[in-house]
Amino acid sequence: MGMTLQIFSTTQLVVTAALFCLILAAAVRQADWARLKTDQALQHSLFGAAVALGFLWQLRAGLSPGLTIHIFAMTAVTLMLGWPLAVMAGLMALVIVVVTGREPWQLFAANGLITVMVPALVSHGIMLWERHKDFRNFFAYIFFCGFFGAAGAVLVAGGTMVLMLWSSGSYSWDELVHEYLRYLPLIVLPEAFVNGTVVSGLMVFNPERLLTLDERRYRR
């Protein structure tokens, strides 16, 4: 986040908008709208996550456009709602950020792709990997999907942003290393801790709120 219109080329904006629309269409198609319509607890989780993310994303650090640091928290939301509804919650949160003037509306697609969709899809992919490995200990879900999933999500999202800024010519590689990449490990640790802690708390006190959690696997 923290983007300005000058840091991306027109080609990049067109490509990101196209990818944004494709992923959004897939999310809309795969989301369980019937369950959302009837499940009041799921509605509360969706809108509560959107509001929480909207306020969380107001907190950021950084001086250069596009190189701000903040907690994404998309991994916990993805594990709570599944990736399609997590994308919806993240985009609603992004609307809050745009309305409050923290981000330009013209870069909604670019922000949505990097801040919302990439972390959600990476978290979903790691969750599928954990399922494929068929671990029988619930700590595997907490560690791999929660802690490791959040770390992987922020690394991929941050790397995507860096590659876009470098290819646009807005920053040299040395500038990106000096102002962002060398701090990326410091971003990974709190991201993993926050998401992992939220997932651990939900698993202990409200496991039914984690739609991606198959409790039957860990009872055998």
Q: Directed axis angle between helix 149-168 and helix 74-81, to 10°?
A: 120
| DSSP β-bridge partners for residue 61 | 69
pLDDT of residue 3 exceeding 80, the answer is no
For the chain, the average pLDDT equals: 91
pLDDT of residue 38: 95
| CA neighbor of 198 nearest in space, from 73, 88, 89, 86 | 73
HSE at residue 181, side-chain half, CA atoms within 13 A, is: 15
Go through 165-177 and write b for each residue having 16 or more CB atoms within 10 A of its CB, e for each that does not. Answer: beebebbeeeebe
CA distance 119 to 129: 15
- Supply the CATH number for residue 98's domain: 1.10.1760.20
pLDDT of residue 187 exceeding 70, the answer is yes
pLDDT bucket at 179, cuts 50 / 70 / 90: confident
Q: How many domains does the chain have?
A: 1
pLDDT of residue 108: 94
Spell out the residues 6+ positions from residue 105 whose beta carbon is closer than 8 angstroms to its own: 98
pLDDT 10s digits, 29-88: 999 999 999 999 999 999 999 999 999 998 887 657 777 788 999 999 999 999 999 999
| DSSP β-bridge partners for residue 69 | 61
Full domain range(s) for residue 124: 5-218
pLDDT of residue 64: 74
Show the tokens assigned to 143. 């560690």
Mapping DSSP to helix (H, G, I), strand (E, B) and coil, where does residue 61 land? strand
pLDDT 10s digits, 119-156: 999 999 999 999 999 888 888 999 999 999 999 999 99
Q: What is the DSSP-derived secondary structure letter of residue 69?
A: B
CA distance 71 to 128: 23
